[in-house]
Structure 1
């Protein structure tokens, strides 16, 4: 009897081998949208897909960018950054201890950072292409999704407070330019002239940006420095488990006059919704706008069943770099889990726990996940 060749065996075996190879990937914990969308880069320090701290009530950031390094950071500079973050956290802590809500806490924290010329918000803001200063800020309340923002202000000492006024005293979400300045002044906020924001460091950065390779000696000093963007932000959860977030910035050095980044844009630089997340971002603003960064984190939690750390990591490290930009975010859930992933080399941030402990993190090796 003649035996027919079983030609079907080869394709069947090929399919079985492919299925067997795929099974481990389907069984991996945490696989899903992030894996289907493409491989996510490994965390730079520890596992950034886990919270960096728990039982947190308030967190602040001072910008993302090229990492500060222990071996090259002057001790005075390190102390200045840590003190600046700690002062902001202490201001928020006073509010929370006195029974204030999360909105008041993030405003208080950001105001301190705006007054510190080390950061790029308020005093110490960067220069536009015409050697001026235009500042942006936003704030959002998670309980009812109320939000306020200002963009391109030129005479408000504390833009975050102007953003809160927009949220609480108008039917609008964002005011811009001269109208925002006038609104803040009419409502009693302190005003300043442009020279209030001026610092030698930021002027040198503008000169460097306009004349690369032909910088004065003062600017050459900064070429050796590891710098961060300096945008500031805060997130908080209060005793009622209400979330809030705020962000403030001077923008980008040598930016076009009238340019607005992600910091005042709800859903890009700032977002807060009870039961999901309070988030404040820092980095390449145009990319954070295009990727709807902070709102996407909230949606991954609400509709995708993700935890705060994996959601924030997927957006900041997994998605935004594919759009051409890097940065970081602080993201806090209503249970006090804090995530601080960044696709940039570094990000400076700090946090306050329920028992009153203040922690500041400047260097990449400090960002280990919580147990």
Structure 2
């Protein structure tokens, strides 16, 4: 594998009760993200650029809980988080609680490459992105009817089924480039009806995002507070580097054995510099897809394609 993406671990799509059109749209969204990253890699671009391109594609797709499709917080607003990390030197950048950046992942990359910091938050992050020339939007850009209905349902004012209309989870990407450098990127709108000011694991290096050439590039999705407490992605790397585990065993250990004991579930996409890939999860499902070196694209969206605890 050279590139992989995920569209969240918010729930499993089951063939028997999933609208075929919905399934088609979700699968296309993952494939489009993979193609966006593929274009970068085919032109000799870096793994950082490839993961940014893939995540930007998902942020622009309202089916996913990031960017355009971000969920509402408790005050009916949107606060978005994102982070990115380069495996060659472990440089990293992140933004938290941004409200006016069209593509938070691009802002995170700029923090990594243009500042001496790792994370910018809130108004400062929004201002930095705008000064850097990134497209800005007003809050109504993120508004969608489906997400509004989800908020109403979360507050007890709408049908409970609204909670399951769209994917709830974070989006992310991992890649390895022609120089065998890995990178990881993650972006999210957070939790439906979350407290104002809540920051997710998606902007936390070592929790939602981690990349190190000698071990792994990983992007996580799931119960963010648990992933932060369990230092999910950096623990995978540490188990490989210091524990002698292979990628699959380390990722399985963290996602299926350790994090559920802390009270949360989720999934991760993990890729190393040799192209070894795995996507274990303790959640019911994990929307994901991958690209092979010979150009084959595979997407997995149904429960039977990604059974839990594997």
Q: Does 1:67 align with 2:12?
A: yes
Q: Aligned-pair distance for 1:220? A: 5.0
Check conservation: 1:300, 1:306, Cα contact below 8 A.
yes
1:166 to 105, 108, 111: 111
Q: Does 1:123 align with 2:68?
A: yes
Name the counterpart of 2:242: 303
How do 1:183-332 residues align onto structure 2 when only pairs under 5 Å count? 183-211=128-156, 214-215=157-158, 219-222=159-162, 225=164, 228-332=167-271
Q: Aligned-pair distance for 1:228? A: 3.7
The CA distance in 1 between the partners of 2:39 and 2:260, in whole Å, is 37
Q: Aligned-pair distance for 1:226? A: 6.8
Check conservation: 1:270, 1:281, Cα contact below 8 A.
yes
- After superposition, the Cα gap between the structure-2 partners of 1:312 and 1:226, relative to the gap in structure 1 and judged at 3 Å, is farther
Name the counterpart of 1:367: 306
Q: Does 1:338 align with 2:277?
A: yes
Check conservation: 2:64, 2:166, Cα contact below 8 A.
no
The CA distance in 1 between the partners of 2:169 and 2:272, in whole Å, is 24
The CA distance in 2 between the partners of 1:112 and 1:191, in whole Å, is 16
The higher radius of gyration belongs to: 1
Name the counterpart of 2:93: 148
What whole-Å deviation, never above 9, does each CA across 1:244-285 have from its counterpart, x for those lacking one? 000000000000000001000000000000010000000000
- Secondary structure at 2:183's aligned position in 1? strand
What whole-Å deviation, never above 9, does each CA across 1:322-367 have from its counterpart, x for those lacking one? 0000000000011111110110100100000000000000112223
Q: Aligned-pair distance for 1:221? A: 4.6
- Secondary structure at 1:65's aligned position in 2? coil
Check conservation: 2:169, 2:222, Cα contact below 8 A.
no
Instruction: In structure 1, list runs of 5 or more residues that go unmatched.
Output: 1-55
The CA distance in 2 between the partners of 1:327 and 1:202, in whole Å, is 21
- Normalised to the residue count of structure 1, the TM-score between the two structures is 0.81
Q: Aligned-pair distance for 1:314? A: 0.4
RMSD value, Cα: 1.1
- Secondary structure at 1:336's aligned position in 2? coil
What whole-Å deviation, never above 9, does each CA across 1:70-120 have from its counterpart, x for those lacking one? 111111000001100000000000000001010000000000000000000
Tell me the number of residue pairs that the alignment of Structure 1 and Structure 2 aligns: 307
The CA distance in 1 between the partners of 2:168 and 2:265, in whole Å, is 11
The CA distance in 2 between the partners of 1:66 and 1:348, in whole Å, is 9
How do 1:44-83 residues align onto structure 2 when only pairs under 5 Å count? 56-83=1-28
The CA distance in 2 between the partners of 1:230 and 1:98, in whole Å, is 30
Check conservation: 2:6, 2:30, Cα contact below 8 A.
yes
Check conservation: 1:143, 1:242, Cα contact below 8 A.
yes
What whole-Å deviation, never above 9, does each CA across 1:278-315 have from its counterpart, x for those lacking one? 00000000000000000000000011111111100000
The CA distance in 2 between the partners of 1:282 and 1:352, in whole Å, is 19
Check conservation: 2:146, 2:166, Cα contact below 8 A.
no
The CA distance in 1 between the partners of 2:292 and 2:208, in whole Å, is 24
Name the counterpart of 1:94: 39
